Amino acid sequence: DAKTTQPNSMESNEEEPVHLPCNHSTISGTDYIHWYRQLPSQGPEYVIHGLTSNVNNRMASLAIAEDRKSSTLILHRATLRDAAVYYCILISSGTYKYIFGTGTRLKVLA
Amino acid sequence: NAGVTQTPKFQVLKTGQSMTLQCAQDMNHNSMYWYRQDPGMGLRLIYYSASEGTTDKGEVPNGYNVSRLNKREFSLRLESAAPSQTSVYFCASSETSAKQGFAQYFGPGTRLTVT
Give B-chain residues touching A1 at CB under 8 angstroms. Answer: none
**Closest approach of B101 to chain A, Cα-based (Å):** 7
In percent, the amount of chain B with pLDDT more than 70 equals 95
Give me the half-sphere count of Cα atoms (radius 13 Å) on the Cβ side of residue A58: 0
Distance CA(B110)–CA(B22), nearest Å, equals 9
**CB-CB under 8 Å, A44 with B106:** yes
The predicted structure's pLDDT at residue A41 = 87
Smallest Cα–Cα separation from A49: which of A29, A32, A37, A64?
A32
Buried b (16+ CB within 10 A) or exposed e, B52-70: eeebeebebbeebebebee
Rounded mean pLDDT for each run of 10 residues along chain A, 110 residues in total: 87 96 90 92 92 92 96 96 94 73 92
Nearest to B31 among A44, A96, A103 (CB): A96
**CB-CB under 8 Å, A95 with B42:** no
Rounded mean pLDDT for each run of 10 residues along chain B, 115 residues in total: 92 97 96 91 90 92 96 97 97 79 89 97
The predicted structure's pLDDT at residue A99 = 76
Residue of chain A whose Cα is closest to the Cα of B41: A102
Residues 6+ apart with CB under 8 A from B39: none
The predicted structure's pLDDT at residue A10 = 97
42-101 in A: which are within 8 Å (CB) of B? 42-46, 49, 51, 87, 91-101
Q: Is A36 on the interface with B (CB under 8 A)?
A: yes
The predicted structure's pLDDT at residue A100 = 79
Over chain B, what is the mean pLDDT? Answer: 93
Task: Give the DSSP letter string of B48-81.
Answer: EESSTT--EE-S--TTEEEEE-SSSBEEEEESS-
Task: Give the DSSP letter string of A76-93.
Answer: SS--GGG-EEEEEEEE-T
Smallest Cα–Cα separation from B74: which of B27, B41, B13, B11?
B27
Residue of chain A whose Cα is closest to the Cα of B91: A43
Provide the 8-state DSSP code for B99. Answer: S
The predicted structure's pLDDT at residue B101 = 67
